A = this chain, B = another copy of it.
């Protein structure tokens, strides 16, 4: 374990990753693709209420980051398939750690919130 980078530096790339993980749609895309490639509409329908613009933004950014690949089949009608890259798939693990933590502590958090609000 070296110097641990510096998450306090706004320009630290680690910060960018944190933002990605915290991004609602990015996480949902990763989870959606973990069981196999999907098309745009399939992602859209699976994720739920998401504007196409926003989904496209998310997918483009993830593609740029190397988390997913985007394959276009110039058929009619067109077909576009999104697939997790190995790096993208490796995100499932950290995400699981977070969700596990969340599920474990949600009751305590809910309770803490209730207690806090009680004093208001």
Contact = CB atoms under 8 A, between A and B. Distances in A.
Q: Is the interface of A mostly helix, strand, loop or mixed?
A: helix
A54 interface: no
- Count copies of this chain in the complex: 2
Q: How large is the interface on A (under 10, 10 to 19, 20 to 34, 35 or more residues)?
A: 35 or more
Given A14-B103, A15-B24, A22-B23, 12 more contacts: A7-B31, A8-B31, A8-B47, A10-B49, A14-B106, A17-B102, A18-B98, A66-B112, A87-B108, A91-B101, A94-B97, A98-B98
Interface of A: 4-5, 7-8, 10, 13-15, 17-19, 21-24, 27-28, 31, 46-49, 63-66, 87, 90-91, 93-94, 97-99, 101-103, 105-106, 108-113, 116-117
